[in-house]
Structure 1
Amino acid sequence: MSEHSYIAGIPLVLGGNVFGWTAKGDGAFAVLDAFYEAGGRMIDTADVYSAWVPGHEGGESEAVIGEWMESRSVRNDMRIHTKTGMLGGAELYEPARVLHSLDASLERLRSDTIDLYYAHKDYPELEIGQIVEAFDGAVQSGKVIALGASNFDAARLGAALDAANATGATPFTALQNEYNLVNREAYGPDLQALAQSRGIAMLPFFGLASGYLTGKYRTEEDFAKSMRGGRAQQLAGGKGPQVLEVMDAVATETGASLSAIALAWLVRQPGIPAPIASARTVDQLNELLEFTQVELSDDQLARLTAAA
C-alpha cells in the first residue's frame, strides 16, 4: 500500500482517543481484538489522550493499548503512531523534553520503539530547525522509526522538510491534520501538492467529523444525546445538511453506511493512504470497516466533493 514502514494492514488507522475514556477494560480490548482480527495493524494515539477527562493526566490511551498488545503478544504485528506536544507549551520541543516524553510513552505502551512519532502541534514562535532537530534526536535515540507532523500548515511543513534536507536530519514523512467531507481547510490544495511532491502520507483525523458524518446527528435532540455531540455540531457548520443529503443519496445507490462512504471518499483524495477513525464499540468498528468494501464511482466522488 505504501513505501512507509508505519503503514500496514487494511487502510484504516484506528483512533486511540477513546481508549481509557469512553472505551475501557474488556470493552476496549474487544474493539482492539476485532480490529486486529479484521487485519487492522495501525493504531494512532497521543500522550495527551485523555487529559481532558477529570482525574486523568494524559497517557491513559497509551496505557490501554500497551496492556492489550502485551496481553495478546502482538506488538511486532502492529504499527503504533503516537504524538507529543499538547501537555504544555513550546518547552515540550526542547530536545531533552522530547526524549523524556518519548520514554514516558514507551513505558505506557510497553514497547521499545514507536513506529511513527508526531509533533502534535506546531509552535510558530520556535524556529522550525529547532523542532526538526529535537525530533531527529528521537530517531537518533533508536527508539523512533519515522516522524510525522500534526496540525502544521504548508509553509511550516515545507520549511521543516527543507531544514531536514539541509542538515541531514530525519524528515517528517507523515502529516496528520483535520480533513473530512465538511471541513477541508486544514488540508487544502497547497498541502495536497506538498504531500504528493514530497512523498508525505496524509493520515487525516476527524474523518467522520466527530460522528457527524455517520448521519446519526441531525437535530438538536440528537446532538444533546452524545458526549461528542457538541463537537460534531460545531464541525458540521452550515455545510453539514447539504453534505448529508448527498451522502444519503449515495448510500441509497450503494447500500453502504454513511460512515463507510465518508471514509471511502477520504482514501480517494490526494496523498491519503488511510484515514484515522475511532470506535467505542465493536459494532461501531464493523460499521467503519465497511468502507474497505465500498467502491465509489467517479460521479459519486464528484457529487460528494461538490457538496461542501
Structure 2
Amino acid sequence: MHYRTLGGDQGPRISAMCLGTLPFGTTVDEPTAFAVLDRFAEAGGTFVDTANHYGCWIPGATGDESELLLGRWLRSRGAAGRTVVATKVGARPDPARGSAWPANAEGLGRAAVRAGIDGSLRRLGTDRVDLYYAHPEDRHVPLDETVEALAGLVQDGTVGALGAGGHRTWRLAEARHTAAGRGLPGFRAVQQRHTYLRPRRGLPPDMQGEADEELLDYAAAHPGLTLTGYGTLMAGAYSRTDRPLPERYDHPGSVARLRVLAEVAAECGATVNQVVLAWLMGDAVPVVPVVGVSSVAQLDECLAALDLRLDAVQRARLDTA
C-alpha cells in the first residue's frame, strides 16, 4: 500500500486508495462486505468512505445500511483507531420534506448538519468522524450558515477534517475563502465523479458533479486540498460486456480514449481498470480513487494498480487521445 496525507501536511495519513462502501448492507451482503473490508485492511488500506444516505434509493432501504455495517465491522475488528472514516451529510431523505428523493434531501442547514453528524456517529458507533463531506451543495441555505455549522463540528472535536462533494468549483472556492476569512476550519478535501473518459458536452448539472478542468486547475493551485474521485471504474463498464457505458460517457469522443486505454493495458500486462486507476493516482494532481467493489477478487484487481507505473509516453498518449 502507498500512503499520503489528507488535506495537506497536517492531515491524517491515508492509504492512496479509498474503499467505497456504498452497496454494503444492501446489494452487497454483510459476509461479503466484511471479507472485502478485511482484505483491504490486510493490504494496508486505511481510508474508507460511506454516507448517511447510501442505499436509500433501493426499495426497503433507509440509508442507514452502509454506516451501520461499517460500524459493526469497525467494532468487531477493533479497527476504529487505524481506520480513517469519511462520511457525508446533505443527501439523506427527510420525510418532513416529502416522499420523493432526492427532492426531499436534508440539505446543509445548521440543524441538518448537526442532526446529520449525530446520526452518523450513532450508526458508526464512534464519537468522531475523520472526514465529513458536505454533499451535495445546497443553494437554498446561505453559504455562511453551512460553513459555520461545519466548522463547529471540527471545533467541538466530533469531526477531524471537512470535505465537499458535488460542489461547483466556484462554490468550493467561495466556501474556503469564507472560512479562511473568519479563521474557521474549511474544506480540505473535495470528492467528485472522476474517471478516464470525459463526459459529453452540454450535459445539464446534476447533484453529483464532475471533476472538470476548472476543479483540477484549482486543486493544482491549492496543494492543501485533497481530491478524491468516485465512479472511477463506471460500475464495471470498462471491462464488462454486460455493462454498457453510462450515457454521459457514450459519445464519439470516447472511442479514441478507449482504444488507447486498451493499447496501454496490453503494453503493461495490466487490465484496463488498473490503467484507469494508475492514471488517476499518478496524475499531476494526484487523485485518491474511491473504489467500489462487490467481491474480494475485484478489490485485488484494484489493489494491483497501486504498483502500476505509466511512463511519460503512455501517459501523454492517454491524456491526448
TM-score norm. by structure 2 comes to 0.87
**1:178 Cα deviation after fit:** 1.0
Q: Mapping of 1:112-131 within 5 angstroms?
A: 112-131=127-146
The residue type equivalent to 1:156 in the other structure is R
One of 61, 70, 89 as aligned partner of 2:66:
61
The 3-state SS of whatever aligns with 1:142 is: coil
The 3-state SS of whatever aligns with 2:51 is: coil
The 3-state SS of whatever aligns with 2:256 is: helix
Q: 1:71 to 1:138 in 2, by over 3 A?
A: same
For structure 2, the residue ranges without an aligned partner over 5 or more in a row are 94-103, 200-208
- Is 1:180 matched with 2:195? yes
- 1:283 corresponds to which residue? 297
For structure 1, the residue ranges without an aligned partner over 5 or more in a row are 224-228
- Is 1:5 matched with 2:30? no
- 2:173 corresponds to which residue? 158
**1:237 Cα deviation after fit:** 1.3
Q: What is the alpha-carbon distance in structure 2 between the residues aligned to residue 123 and residue 15 of structure 1? A: 23
One of 221, 237, 245 as aligned partner of 1:212:
237
The 3-state SS of whatever aligns with 1:216 is: coil
- 2:152 corresponds to which residue? 137
One of 214, 219, 231 as aligned partner of 1:190:
214
Kept after mapping to 1: 8 A contact 2:109/2:141? no
**1:295 Cα deviation after fit:** 0.6
The 3-state SS of whatever aligns with 1:280 is: coil
TM-score norm. by structure 1 comes to 0.90
- 2:96 corresponds to which residue? none
**1:7 Cα deviation after fit:** 4.2
Q: What is the alpha-carbon distance in structure 1 between the residues aligned to residue 176 and residue 284 of structure 2? A: 19
- 2:114 corresponds to which residue? 99
The residue type equivalent to 1:142 in the other structure is G
Offset from partner CA, 1:62-118 (integer Å, 9 cap, x none): 111110110000110000000010124575322222111111111111111100000
- 2:281 corresponds to which residue? 267
Q: What is the alpha-carbon distance in structure 2 between the residues aligned to residue 90 and residue 275 of structure 1? A: 26
Q: What is the alpha-carbon distance in structure 2 between the residues aligned to residue 106 and residue 59 of structure 1? A: 12
**1:142 Cα deviation after fit:** 1.4
**1:252 Cα deviation after fit:** 1.0
Kept after mapping to 2: 8 A contact 1:203/1:274? yes
The residue type equivalent to 2:247 in the other structure is Q
Kept after mapping to 1: 8 A contact 2:133/2:165? yes
- Is 1:295 matched with 2:309? yes
Q: 1:279 to 1:7 in 2, by over 3 A?
A: farther
Q: What is the alpha-carbon distance in structure 2 between the residues aligned to residue 153 and residue 7 of structure 1? A: 27
**1:267 Cα deviation after fit:** 1.1
Q: What is the alpha-carbon distance in structure 2 between the residues aligned to residue 129 and residue 272 of structure 1? A: 30
Q: What is the alpha-carbon distance in structure 2 between the residues aligned to residue 298 and residue 287 of structure 1? A: 23
Higher helix share: 1
Question: RMSD in angstroms over aligned alpha carbons?
Answer: 1.8
Higher strand share: 2
Offset from partner CA, 1:135-178 (integer Å, 9 cap, x none): 11221231100000001111101100110011111110000011
The residue type equivalent to 2:246 in the other structure is Q
- 2:101 corresponds to which residue? none
The 3-state SS of whatever aligns with 1:275 is: strand
Kept after mapping to 2: 8 A contact 1:192/1:270? no
Q: What is the alpha-carbon distance in structure 2 between the residues aligned to residue 34 and residue 77 of structure 1? A: 14
- Is 1:72 matched with 2:65? no
Identity %: 34
Q: What is the alpha-carbon distance in structure 1 between the residues aligned to residue 248 and residue 236 of structure 2? A: 10
**1:204 Cα deviation after fit:** 0.9
Segments of 4+ moved more than 4 angstroms: 88-91
Q: What is the alpha-carbon distance in structure 1 between the residues aligned to residue 248 and residue 129 of structure 2? A: 31
